[in-house]
Structure 1
Amino acid sequence: MSQLQQRLSALVDEAGYRRDEPIVVGMQHGGRPPVLLAQGLTLNGEPLGATTLAYMASLSKQMTAACAAQLAQQGELDMESALSRWLPQLPAWADAVRLRHLVHHTAGMPADAKIEALMGRDADRTTEGIIQALARFPVLDREPGAAHAYFNAGYVCLAAAVQRALGQPLPDFARSQLFTPLAMVNTRYWTGPDPAPPGAAPLVSLHPAPLSVGDGGVWSTATDLLRWGQALNADGHGRMLVDAMLRSTSHPEMFGSGDAAAAQAVGGQARMSCQTGLPDGPARRACTRATRWPTCWPGAGRDRPGSATSGRTSAWAGTTASPSSPGPTTARWARC
């Protein structure tokens, strides 16, 4: 076992995983081959590995934001446009919600629990069901733009707006503009009707199934996620995504697109937390030259702080910037 693999193993232990619990961890520095650690079995008894297809949960929001950013950069999607322009079936409050509010979790939408109560306890989580439930709320919980409150329904609405602007399904656009160019060959959206795509690690609970697009919906592997992290580290997708979003909003300090999205400049570098979104404020500039940009994701994660879903299969993947970057080159991992 190499020194890096020993370090990964130690980090897994520190995070509270037993040696028999399923988890896969990947780390990559620049263009060097990735270092991978995998242990345990999926719920159907298959060995867990770097190519095991697992549910990405709220990390899907990064892909949703990337699609919106590309359209914003091309002038095809105005982040200041009202949500009602794209979803006219919503009540009058949609006139006051801007797409940037959805990106930054500041739209003031009802809490997820309230939406799920209207959908029914055992109803699968679908885009149509969530939007229909939203249409039953006469008012919002708070004024749009007044405060930050994390909610999933906002990214479902953002994805729907992107689809309307595109004139095609968001999964098709993501495949052609994100996944295929980055050689993320195993990554895909899944909207059913089965709870999971063929060959994927099964969810602990089949229903309600996570079939909505925008807040979730993406299934991927540790190796593909490493490629995604590398793209965000590069001057291409990562800088384009951040720049496009910051240019489209008057509130860059509110930027965030995933669970526990947080970034802060530390010693001239960026440090990001578990299930990162994109960096905000000064940290955004630090990230363009950072030597550390760790990313971790619970694929069908265990019940633990920072985990987006309940299950047994977890996966982390992290990348660091190119060897020519200044400063330390050892990736630091957030605890999930």
Structure 2
Amino acid sequence: MKIKANNNCEAPDIAISVITYNHEKYIVDTIEGIIMQESKYSFKVFITDDNSTDNTAKICEEYVKKYPLLIDFEVNQTNLGSLDNWFYNLTKCYNSGAPLIAICEGDDYWIDKSKLHHQITHLNKNPSTSLTFHRSELMLDGIPLETSGLLCINANQYFSGKDIIEKWTIPTASVVFRRKVLETYLPRKNNNKYIYGDIILFLSATEHGKLFYMNRTMSVYRRHGTGITQVQSSPEFYERVYQHRDAISRDFGGKFSFLRKTELADCYFSISLLFIKQLKFKGIKYLFKAILYKPSVLITYISNKIMLL
């Protein structure tokens, strides 16, 4: 059965958040992956274009003409930036009143027609589950990559917030979660230390229930190589990552305070190496901070370098 568009004033069974910016090469795959869904549940798609400079908006408008009851489309008058646009669109999904919310960003896409049906059915049958996610294919500039972390677990199982932090993260296009998660998540947009919206969403979900992983490949997660190395090789990037992780360690009632002794130490060490290479004194300061939190960090680094000789 084809999934139903929400065509009246009642809240849909599920709201789908799609944010996009200069995704003219990918947005068709995103929208087609949504409209092909087959289920008995009604849904509404909320697409917000962040003032793209390509043909993304024009493509979306063509789909609105074909599916006016299915798609709510808006173009921001100015570019908000990906994180602000992310929060803005999720707020629209929350305000729709839909009890469940899914995400598929404008360069990712779904490949299983029964994806939503499987996840909605699980949530309806398991009230203690706050969020479901699943296996995803990973592509870099159109080339399939070997997956790692939570992308390739081979069994259905539940995960904790600590699991999510330690084993990387969840593919955003794979999630379906309860509306109530946004009640504690959306206020966190005011914390300017956070630089990644998705991991904070997933950790917020742990405040409302369990996270369930489905061992079924139902989406494609795209990565784009342009600029990644350059951005992540700057001290400023690692300083922002430190602030982000530090904010996590202090938030959530201290549940993830272990970050201050483990991942924060690694972040300090990465910053120190970059500053030392630039012959900046700040590198020594960060090195001492790293050793303070994790005394073995320098020995581990030297050992790894020796093994490569």
Larger RCO (CA under 8 A, 6+ residues apart) = 1
Larger Rg: 2
Using the size of structure 2 for normalisation, the TM-score is 0.28
